Amino acid sequence: MRVGVALFDGVEELDWAGPWEVLGMWSRRWPEDGIELVSVADDDRPVTCAKGIRVLPDLSWPTAGRLDVLIYPGGEGTQRQLGHGDPVHTRLTELADDGTLLASVCTGALVFAAAGLLRGRPATTHWRWLDRLRELDPTIDVRPDERFVDSGRIVTSAGVSAGIDMTLHLVSRLHSRERAAQVRRAIQYEPQPPV
């Protein structure tokens, strides 16, 4: 199974790095499960994330090939991708049409909505952007109290750590609940915030 994590300038670090941690642990600790994990961006130049860290993508979109799953993170960079006819909309629509399971973190859901992919579906995003999600497509059944929403071929999640929860859900869905629990233990994901 080939899993891609999208990168773009202004991407929120934990929105992609949290799911990457889950998927990376899965692919490395259990290689027999056959998970190939790649990061994908417009080209092979460094991507500057929202808080300033720069990362090098593994692949560019023209060389990415088929993806079984795509994680689409949020961040300030998504705001540039909401305009009508943005090329990323075509790319996401083509992936969906090809059977790729699309999963968003935080404002990645806004890009899905702008591309028309959430029409008539339940979805969520970061609490601050719920109204914008409704504005982009009034047919969306916005779920403000859900950490993630699985609507079949598209899964959306709220902000930051909700992306980790969603990705553990994907491991459970794509493999087993037992494997997801093993991955959670391996990364010692035990959220108990002090505040």
Indicate the range of 83-87, 109-113, 118-122, 156-160 predicted with least confidence. 83-87
Cα(145)–Cα(14) distance, rounded to whole angstroms?
21
Cα(136)–Cα(92) distance, rounded to whole angstroms?
16
Cα(10)–Cα(135) distance, rounded to whole angstroms?
22
**Does some domain include residue 191?**
no
**Does some domain include residue 105?**
yes
**Does some domain include residue 144?**
yes
Q: What integer is the mean pLDDT of 95-116?
A: 98
pTM to 2 decimal places: 0.96
Give per-residue pLDDT as tens, 51-89. 999 999 999 999 999 999 999 999 999 999 999 888 999
Cα(77)–Cα(22) distance, rounded to whole angstroms?
23
**Does some domain include residue 15?**
yes
> Domain residues for 30?
2-186
Tell me how many domains the chain contains: 1
Active site residues: 106
- Mean pLDDT of all residues belonging to the chain: 97
Sequence-ordered list of residues with C-beta below 8 angstroms from that of 67, at least 6 positions apart, any chain: 2, 3, 4, 40, 95, 100
* CATH number, domain with residue 117: 3.40.50.880
Torsion of CA 21, 26, 29, 33, to 10 degrees: -160
